[in-house]
Amino acid sequence: MHINSLSTEQIALQDAARKLAQGVFKDTAARWDAEGVYPDENHKRLADLGYLGMTIPEEYGGDGASLVDVYLVIEEIAKVDFNTALIVHDQNVSPRIIATCGSEELKQAFLPRFARGEIDCSIAWTEPQAGSDATAVTTSVRKTDGGYLLNGGKIFTTFGDRADYLLVYARFCESKGARGVGTVLVKRDSPGVTIHILEQKMGARGCNECEIHFDDVFVPADHLVTEGVAENSSGFVKPIAVYNATRTGMGVLALGVAEGAFDEARNYMKTRSQFGKTLSEMQGLQWMMSDMRVQIEAARALCYNALSMIDAGKPDPILCSIAKLQSTEMAQKVTHDAMQMFGGYGYFGSLPLERMVRDVRMLTITGGTTQIHKNAIAAAIFRD
């Protein structure tokens, strides 16, 4: 998909998100980082505007928006406020999994509430021994009267301390690999749930990462999303098929931050003078900016092409990996080079550049590391 082929409605959606980001979110973005606090006021505004749960089907109170629509919004917000963009991103993932994989009863019970922004949900998947080896989960679910008992632990659960519900990946039976793994919806304040906030986070400080323990947590039978069975991996594969779009979405988050850093550098270079001319007149710096622009446009094309294919019902997991890999690695380079334009000033927190460098770093790790995506791409290259 070429970004210039956006519909009139999509252009209006993009413009509205840009005005919100530049006019409201930009001025408070530094606060969430400096104080390490959650942007509650932004969350409320996002909910009021219907940006949370945009992808929820209309029959359940959502907009039925495409992934391209959602990430046009996220890209604009990420240019100025990564923490707030991450809220929109995350709250359009779990509801989409439930909408795609859950029972009708589950959809009726939860999706309208997600769409209204009344409740939030976080994905609890990663475990201390199950990071890149995603199918190595040991958290267990066993049937009991009226439902299930959940035991085990998770780590690096984003928003785990705030989400009303946790979408937990767990093993339903004695099995190995993806077989037997499924998902359940767990109320965060259920008896037996213990949450510890992980300290000293490098970036995205307005959104806590958490370690979560489950000790005989009762999960009602109607909170089952996908059941894990020993015979096949469908309980794991179905939600992962939905989650693949999220990998590309992380590329869009990176794209937005890179664009924001680029814009800051460009504006500064037009006014900052050294040796009798502005930085924007110096060929060496012009070339650096040209390189940044090329990489940004390449990332944009890859991400929105991958998202539009998913919207068209033709998902390409390898293209998703390529988009995520190129965009997140690009953002590391662009944010660093943009900071360079400010000299010593860029190194201090009075400007957004050092925050952008820290925020975007997580995106080469979460959602599959750079190395894991390279493995997937290489396997596709040499597959018969």
Q: Rounded CA gap, 47 and 77, in Å? A: 15
Calculate what percentage of the chain has a pLDDT beyond 90.
93
Calculate what percentage of the chain has a pLDDT beyond 70.
99
Confidence of residue 291 (pLDDT cuts 50, 70, 90): very high
At position 227, the amino acid (one-letter code) is E
**Does residue 244 register a pLDDT over 90?**
no
List, for residues 172-208, the tens digit of each pLDDT value.
999 989 999 999 999 999 999 999 999 999 999 999 9
pLDDT of residue 79: 98
Are residues 370 and 342 part of one domain? yes
Structural domains counted in the chain: 3
Final residue before a domain boundary, out of 62, 91, 115: 115
List, for residues 367-384, the tens digit of each pLDDT value.
999 999 999 999 999 997
Which has the closest alpha carbon to 240: 367, 383, 105? 367
63, burial (CB in 10 Å: exposed 0-12, middle 13-18, buried 19+)? middle
pLDDT of residue 4: 61
**Does residue 129 register a pLDDT over 90?**
no
Q: What is the pTM of this model?
A: 0.94
**Does residue 264 register a pLDDT over 70?**
yes
Q: What is the CATH number of the domain that holds 183?
A: 2.40.110.10
Q: Rounded CA gap, 89 and 99, in Å? A: 16
Cβ atoms 314, 241 nearer than 8 A: no
Final residue before a domain boundary, out of 115, 132, 152: 115
Are residues 220 and 188 part of one domain? yes
Are residues 358 and 265 part of one domain? yes
**Does residue 363 register a pLDDT over 50?**
yes
Are residues 126 and 110 part of one domain? no
DSSP string, 214-255: EEEEEEEGGGEEE--BTTBSHHHHHHHHHHHHHHHHHHHHHH
Are residues 60 and 24 part of one domain? yes
**Does residue 1 register a pLDDT over 80?**
no
List, for residues 28-52, the tens digit of each pLDDT value.
999 999 999 999 999 999 999 999 9
Final residue before a domain boundary, out of 204, 232, 260: 232
**Does residue 2 register a pLDDT over 60?**
no
Mean pLDDT across the chain, nearest whole number?
95
pLDDT of residue 130: 81
Are residues 163 and 67 part of one domain? no
pLDDT of residue 132: 82
Q: What is the CATH number of the domain that holds 23?
A: 1.10.540.10
C-alpha pair distances (Å), 62 with each of 98, 111, 307, 352: 13, 8, 19, 34
pLDDT of residue 131: 80
Confidence of residue 5 (pLDDT cuts 50, 70, 90): confident
Residue 196, beta-bridge partner list:
211
Find the domain containing 319 and state its range. 236-381
pLDDT of residue 245: 87
